[in-house]
Structures are given as C-alpha cells and as structure tokens.
Structure 1
C-alpha cells in the first residue's frame, strides 16, 4: 500500500468554494477513478479553512497514473488558484500501526 498526504488552507470565507472543488474532484473519481485507490479528504473541526487529503493506492504504478490524470491536474490547479499556493504534498511512510477489534 502506498499513501500520500496533501494539505492546504483557504482564507476565511472560502471554505465553501474549497468544498465545491473537492466535491467535483470526488465526482470525477466516482466516474473515472482508478481501481485500487482510496481517497479521503478531511476538514479541521473548527472550520478554520484547513484541509487534509489522504490518498492510498495498492500499487505505485496506479498512483503515478492517477497523478498524471486530467482530473487530478485540474483538482490541483483549482486548489492552487483558490489557496494562492500549491498544496503541500508528500508520500507517507508507515512507522507503526494499531488496530483494535471491537
């Protein structure tokens, strides 16, 4: 499993615009997203305009293909325009994990 994290912040009052960009991207994923991918986007609880997007892929080749896709490039372009800066993006390396079975 390969995981990436992307974070970005929008100015106060632009949270709804960010949510619309995110919704369009997820609609595109639902229609044409690659198999073997999980994508989750979170906003901070306090609604301060901070977002974190975590992407998981079964294979690096799937990740590379997705990052070159038109849908992802458009998503990044729209977020960059909205935020005034390119989102921070990096690959994650798992250090430890804990899972509790209920």
Structure 2
C-alpha cells in the first residue's frame, strides 16, 4: 500500500488570513507531479484557535519533491508568521485505509 499523509497542526488568531494563504497556494501548486492529491483543513472543536491541515500525497518521495519546491518554502515561511505558536508537523506513512461500500 502506498501513500503518505502530512498533518500540520497550528494555532492562530488570524485564520481568515491563513485561509487566504491556503487558497493562494492551491492556485500556485496546480497539477504538477508533486502536488498533493488532497488537502483538508479542520478546526479543533475543543481548542478554539487550533487547526489541522491534512495533506495527502501518492508517496513520501512525492511529498518531499513538493516540499523542495521554492514556492512551498515561501508558503511555509508565510504560514509560520501567521501562527501564534510554531506549527507542528506529523509525517505519516499510510499502512491501511478503508472505505465502507454503499449498501454493503
């Protein structure tokens, strides 16, 4: 099974600015071979001002190729400036995944 997920945990009181940055970055990444397959931004219901970005890639190698892009480095620096505390990164190899089948 292939797959790699990066979770970025961050705390910010400037979420609207953060959301604008996310939208800008999505537009810049385009459909390159190293772009993420999917990304999800979540808000922690139990800790206001805490968020998680869940970014899915085909593989670890693709994720590292993406991380080495200059625009991603710029994005990370800008993201850090909008955070109230340093972001925390989780790098996860997918070991198993499942999805219920409809009607089954």
Q: Please confirm whether the aligned pair reaches a TM-score higher than 0.5, indicating the same fold.
A: yes
Structure 1 residues 9-88: aligned runs within 5 Å: 9-11=11-13, 14-30=14-30, 33-35=32-34, 37-44=36-43, 48-88=48-88
Q: CA RMSD in A?
A: 2.5
TM-score (norm 1): 0.77
Q: How far, CA to CA, are the matches of 2:91 and 2:43 in structure 1?
A: 21
Q: What number of residue pairs does the alignment pair up?
A: 99
Higher helix content, 1 or 2: 1
Q: How far, CA to CA, are the matches of 1:18 and 1:37 in structure 2?
A: 18
User: Which SS does the other structure have where 1:37 is aligned?
Assistant: coil
* 2:5 aligns with one of 3, 6, 16: 3
Structure 1 residues not aligned, in runs of 5+: none
Structure 2 residues not aligned, in runs of 5+: none
